[in-house]
Every structure is written in structure tokens, then in C-alpha cells.
Amino acid sequence: MRKLILFLLICISAKVNAQVYQEMPQYGYRANRMAFDSTLQIPTVCGVPTIKSVVKYTKNGAIAYDSCNAVFYTYNPKTLTWTAVSGGGGSTDTTSLSNRINLKVNISDTSNMLTKYLRKTDTASLSNRINLKIPYTGATQDVDLGAFKISAQSFQVEGTNGLGHIHFKHQNSDATATGQSTVLYANSNGDLKYKNAGNYYSTLKTQQTADRVYTFQNKSYTLADSSDLSAKLNTADTLSLSNRINLKLNIADTSLLQSKSIQPYSFLANNTTASANAQALPFKDTSGTYTGSIAWNGTAPTSGNLTYRWTRIGKMVTINISLVYANAGSANSTLTVALPSDAPTPSKPAGLTSALNNLYPIVGSVNITNQSTLTNSGTRGFLRNNTANNGFEFNLGYTATTAVNAFITCTYYTD
């Protein structure tokens, strides 16, 4: 029972308002760490405040003043963080409008500001960029278009002396002043000239006609027209010799080129009083075993090497007959040898057309040995018409001997 009574008393004391709050009759109120006086004094700390109470108070906002750093803090129960309150109180704004704009705009980063308005990243100053954008007379610096090209309906280049030069650098590092570029320009005559890296000048010009003239500067010759192409061959010509010959020759003129092939048994000569193309004239040289008719008087030498040879040049024929025997003849004083059947037909001098008429003299000899010097058998003879006057023969007369060989040489003419 006593416990029940005690319990009830505790409950009643918790529920019942035994006292009524009364306003403070004195001016001001003070509690730990805060006070209400003519001012509201709040908790003052040194550094960032911390909440030292139980957890439930962290769910409420709070303020504190950092007297060490003169910073007013507010507490955000949602984020559980203290935040220093910044900003000053109202004062007279002495900053100009432009300065305030500058504070809003990062004017030091002008290139980034203009980037979206430029076609390329450009680190040059604004004034330079403006200069580059606006053509004006008196430019003092080069314009680098990078990989971009200039497109225009016409293009004009004017130099300080009125002669515009276009420089083609051989590579980026080349300087035009040192000849490391090819320069193209027009001279005062309107001729197009160019200078190569070696400072050699060449002129390309046109005449009133459509012909073109190309002058090799520092050379002693000028190509005036196509005929000058025959002047000389370039020593650096790598064409084959046959190709160069073909270029020199009119290969379409095959008839002349075929002049190296001429008709059989002929040679080329000019048998006239004037210069003329060569004409084919007869030429033949032949030899072989003699198989014609041989007639000795006495007893004939036997077992022989019988050969002949003749050469025809034009109408002149030189023939040689060699009759060399192993067995000597006897009482030989006459030898008759028929003209070889393949020898050209002798031309008969006028008045010598009858049988046995001598036509041409011969040189002949009949010898008794093959080693002897000229013997008494040395003889004279003729090429003559034969007995039947239907052919020709050599006839030799000499002192009777024992012939072992005979030689006949004769030059005659044919028609």
C-alpha cells in the first residue's frame, strides 16, 4: 500500500503544475553562458563552436560567437555543421561600375572569352587579333594562316618596288633571304621569272604567236623552236642508245633504213658526176674446183688440183685459174682452158666477134716444178672466142716443156 501511494504521488507531482512562471521583475536575466541585458549575450567561444550537450539539442539551430577570430557562427542541425557568417554591414559603395563588371567577368582570360568567336585557338593579344582581322595598309608582321588557304577571285602581290614575289620555301625553316626558296615573280616586261635556290634566274615568256620561249639563264643557247632540239643531247640522258637513235632517225622511212640490206651480189656506189643516192652495182667473189675443159698438147700432166677464182666489181672481172698436177706432162707448148661456166660473159671489143679472136690479154705461166722461179715456160696468151664461137677460152703458147702446173690471170670486162 505504501508503495502504491508513493507511486501515485510521483505521478501526480509530474502532472500537476505546482508553480506558475512569473516574468522577471528585475531588468535583465542571466544564466550560464548567456544573459539578457541591454543586449543579448550569446555563447562566446574561441574557434569553431561545438555542442557539448545531449544529442537532442543537436536537432535545434544554434548560434555562437568566436571571439578569438571575430566570427559569428550559425549551426545547421540538418547538416550538423557550423558555418561562419560572412559579409559586412552596409557601407558606401565606392567601386566603379566597370570594376564591379570586372569582378563579375574574368577579364584576364580574354583569350578564353573570345575562343568561341575565333576560328582557331589564338594566344595573340586582342589588339593583334583585331589587326589580323582587319586588313590595313602598313602591316608590319606576317600573317600565318596555318594550314588554311587563301581563296579569292584574283590574287595580287605587290612588293615594295612594285614587283611582287611569291616565295616557295623548300621547308619551314628555310629563309628566303638565303636562297633557300624558289621565288616566282614578274619583271617589268611582264615576263614571268623564277629564281631557284641557287639564285639562278630563268625567264618564261610568250611571244605574240603561240610559240613559247624558254631561256636557260647563264647558258649560251636558247631554244627558239623545235629545230633547236637537234642541237645536242643532254649528257644526263639515260635513254638507251637505240632509243636516242630512233629519236634522231625518221623511223617511218623504212626504205632508207633498209639500205643496209641490198640486193645479192651487189655493192652501193655512185657512178655519176653528181652527188646522188648510192646505186646497187654488181659485185661477186666466188671460187671453186675447176671443172671446165682443159686441153694440152703433147702428153698432159695428170692428177691435178684444179681450182679457180674470180671477182666481179661492176663490169670488171678478174679471174685466176690454178692447175697444179702431180704428174708432169711432156712436149707441152700449148694450153687451152675454157672460161668457167659461171664466170661473167666477156664483152667482145668491136671487131673481135669471130671465132678464135683474142679479146683480152692474160698473164700466165707454165712451170716444170712448183718451186721453180719463172722458167722458160713463161708465156703470154689471150682470152678469146672459142673455135665454135659459142664460148670463151684462155689460150697460152709457150716453149715446149714438161709442165707440172699452169697459172692464168686475166682481167676482162663484161656487159
Q: Which residues contact another protein (rule: CB under 8 A)?
A: 291, 293-304, 306, 325, 327, 330-331, 334, 336
Q: What cell numbers appear for 104 in the block?
A: 563579375
Instruction: Give residues with Cβ within 8 angstroms of 137, minimum separation 6.
Output: none
Pick the closer one to another protein by CB: 292 or 378. Answer: 292
Please report the beta strands in 81-221, taking only residues with DSSP state E, as ranges in sequence order. 81-85, 165-169, 181-186, 192-195, 201-206, 212-215
Least separation in angstroms between CB 325 and another protein: 7
Pick the closer one to another protein by CB: 223 or 324. Answer: 324
C-alpha–C-alpha distance, residues 71 and 381, integer Å: 160
Least separation in angstroms between CB 293 and another protein: 7
Q: Count of CB atoms within 10 A of residue 396's CB?
A: 23
Pick the closer one to another protein by CB: 294 or 362. Answer: 294
C-alpha–C-alpha distance, residues 129 and 111, integer Å: 10
Pick the closer one to another protein by CB: 282 or 298. Answer: 298
C-alpha–C-alpha distance, residues 280 and 258, integer Å: 13
Least separation in angstroms between CB 402 and another protein: 13
Least separation in angstroms between CB 254 and another protein: 48
C-alpha–C-alpha distance, residues 171 and 106, integer Å: 41
Pick the closer one to another protein by CB: 230 or 341. Answer: 341
* Residue-level length of the chain: 415
Pick the closer one to another protein by CB: 299 or 320. Answer: 299
The one-character DSSP state at 209 is S
Instruction: Give residues with Cβ within 8 angstroms of 285, minimum separation 6.
Output: 309, 310, 311, 312
| 259 three-state secondary structure | helix
Question: β-strands 81-85, 165-169: how paired?
Answer: unpaired
Pick the closer one to another protein by CB: 317 or 339. Answer: 339
The one-character DSSP state at 366 is E
C-alpha–C-alpha distance, residues 191 and 367, integer Å: 92
Among 70, 103, 99, smallest CA distance to 84 is for: 70
Which residue, chain included where needed, has cell 678469146? Answer: 384
C-alpha–C-alpha distance, residues 358 and 362, integer Å: 10
Least separation in angstroms between CB 335 and another protein: 9
Least separation in angstroms between CB 310 and another protein: 19
Least separation in angstroms between CB 276 and another protein: 47
C-alpha–C-alpha distance, residues 388 and 281, integer Å: 32
What does R_g of the chain's alpha carbons equal in angstroms?
68
Full strand arrangement of the beta sheet holding 44-45: 44-45, 62-66, 71-76, 81-85
Least separation in angstroms between CB 392 and another protein: 17
Pick the closer one to another protein by CB: 49 or 381. Answer: 381
Among 206, 211, 205, smallest CA distance to 192 is for: 205
In single-letter form, the type of residue at position 195 comes to: K
C-alpha–C-alpha distance, residues 379 and 396, integer Å: 7
**What does residue 257 show for φ and ψ, rounded to 5 degrees?**
-60, -30
Least separation in angstroms between CB 333 and another protein: 9
Pick the closer one to another protein by CB: 317 or 335. Answer: 335
Least separation in angstroms between CB 327 and another protein: 6
Pick the closer one to another protein by CB: 203 or 297. Answer: 297
Pick the closer one to another protein by CB: 71 or 396. Answer: 396
Least separation in angstroms between CB 260 and another protein: 41
